[in-house]
């Protein structure tokens, strides 16, 4: 058994040798490769079975390193980076030549983040170049928040640095920052634990001219599938909290039967006969804690092989942080019942 420090040393060696390694970050575990190794970047896509149209996030360990990845490091980005980095905020900016088209799926922009996790920081520092790292799960599946999750996902084919459980639990907030005629245009491309209200709040004490843009188009935010993070057992989000258990079972029997065996390329294990075992997902009432528990609970519940997983959404689940949690829950769901 290697100590964590020995695992880090080995990971640095493997990254230098065009390999990929799994590293803990505060959001979720990532599958990392040097940005200047085309071989390793291609391995990320093949190991994850990820389509090339879904771009990767580049992880840096300083603002100076981030600046080298972009053609234009504007003042607002500098301010947000200094406010929220290291941490779970990803900034999308015009890419420099250091970033290949393979990483950005041909987009002219790059997504950049300085993670807070000390192991991720040590890796980037020691390798000396930024690391591209998507979440360390097969494409479309539930993201990993523990080293054990990554091991289950890829058996022994990838070195996994055994850090602690990810403290945030859901992926970073992705924010696009554009500057047009001295006005900044901001758009949240993926919700996370850094909330729009927090960004608005810190900006309110500054003199930047900016506006929020709500529209998310597919080209600007690729990889945004309707389905994602899916457990192999069908997950149902039930938005009618008044439904009786017998009514719910009846509805599920009918509706699950109508589902395809595969949703957006992800195979779903549908119940073969009438549903006997429904497992109810119980998340903490505090959304920050719920985010921390979500993926781990989805994975643990799937391993117990119920016929179906169910989450009951109630009026208590309101507020911005819950929206980030529900962004994941809805995408993970095979079915949403109103």
In angstroms, what is the minimal distance from the CB of 174 to Mg ion? 11
Of the candidate residues 11, 35, 57, 177, the single one contacting ligand TXA (CB under 6 A): 57
* Helix/strand/coil for 38: helix
Of the candidate residues 77, 90, 145, 334, the single one contacting ligand TXA (CB under 6 A): 90
Q: What are phi and psi of 231, to 5 degrees?
A: -75, 165
Residue 109: asked if its preceding bond is cis (omega within 30°), the reply is no
Nearer to Mg ion, 44 or 81 (CB): 44
Buried b (16+ CB within 10 A) or exposed e, 166-191: bbbbbbbbbbbbbbeeeebebbbbbb
Query: Residue 133 binds which entry of ligand TXA, Mg ion, none, with Cβ cut-offs from 5 to 8 Å by kind?
Result: ligand TXA
232, 268 in Cβ contact below 8 A?
yes
Nearer to ligand TXA, 138 or 209 (CB): 138
223 near ligand TXA, judged by CB under 6 A: yes
Q: How many amino acids of this chain bind ligand TXA (CB under 6 A)? A: 31
218, 280 in Cβ contact below 8 A?
no
Query: Residue 104 binds which entry of Mg ion, ligand TXA, none, with Cβ cut-offs from 5 to 8 Å by kind?
Result: ligand TXA
In angstroms, what is the minimal distance from the CB of 338 to ligand TXA? 27
Q: What are phi and psi of 207, to 5 degrees?
A: -100, 15
135 near Mg ion, judged by CB under 5 A: yes
146 near ligand TXA, judged by CB under 6 A: no
308, 301 in Cβ contact below 8 A?
no
Site string for ligand TXA, 187-216 (x = CB under 6 A): --xx--------------------------
- Rounded to whole angstroms, what are the CA distances from 196 to 35, 147, 175, 199, 319? 29, 30, 9, 5, 12
Terminal alpha carbon distance of the chain: 49
Nearer to ligand TXA, 92 or 310 (CB): 92
92 near ligand TXA, judged by CB under 6 A: yes
List residues near ligand TXA by CB under 6 A: 25, 27-28, 30, 54-57, 88, 90, 92, 104, 107, 109-111, 113, 115, 133-135, 171-172, 174, 189-190, 220-224
């Amino acid at each position: 058994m290697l100590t964590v420090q020995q695992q880090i040393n080995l990971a640095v060696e493997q990254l230098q040798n065009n390999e990929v390694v799994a590293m803990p970050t505060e959001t979720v575990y990532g599958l990392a490769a040097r940005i200047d190794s085309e071989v390793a970047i291609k391995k990320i896509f093949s190991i994850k079975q990820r389509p090339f149209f879904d771009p990767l996030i580049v992880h840096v360990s300083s603002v100076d390193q981030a600046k080298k990845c972009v053609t234009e490091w504007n003042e607002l980005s500098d301010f947000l980076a200094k406010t929220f980095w290291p941490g779970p905020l990803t900034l999308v900016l015009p890419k420099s030549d250091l970033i290949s088209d393979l990483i950005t799926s041909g987009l002219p922009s790059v997504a950049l983040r300085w993670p807070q996790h000390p192991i991720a920081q040590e890796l980037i520092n020691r390798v000396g170049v930024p690391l591209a790292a998507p979440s360390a799960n097969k494409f479309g599946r539930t993201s990993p928040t523990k080293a054990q999750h990554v091991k289950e996902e890829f058996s022994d084919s990838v070195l996994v640095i055994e850090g602690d459980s990810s403290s945030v639990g859901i992926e970073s907030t992705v924010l696009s920052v554009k500057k047009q005629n001295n006005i900044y245009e901001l758009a949240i491309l993926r919700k996370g634990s850094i909330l729009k209200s927090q960004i608005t709040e810190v900006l309110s004490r500054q003199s930047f001219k900016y506006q929020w843009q709500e529209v998310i188009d597919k080209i600007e935010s690729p990889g945004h599938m309707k389905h994602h993070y899916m457990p192999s057992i069908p997950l149902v989000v039930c938005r009618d909290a008044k439904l009786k258990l017998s009514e719910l079972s009846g509805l599920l029997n009918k509706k699950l039967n109508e589902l395809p065996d595969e949703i957006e390329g992800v195979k779903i294990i549908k119940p073969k006969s009438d549903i006997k075992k429904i497992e109810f997902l119980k998340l903490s009432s505090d959304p920050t804690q719920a985010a921390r528990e979500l993926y781990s609970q989805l994975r643990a519940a799937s391993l117990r092989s119920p016929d179906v997983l169910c989450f009951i959404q109630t009026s208590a689940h309101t507020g911005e942080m819950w929206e980030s949690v529900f962004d994941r829950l809805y995408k993970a769901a095979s079915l949403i019942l109103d």
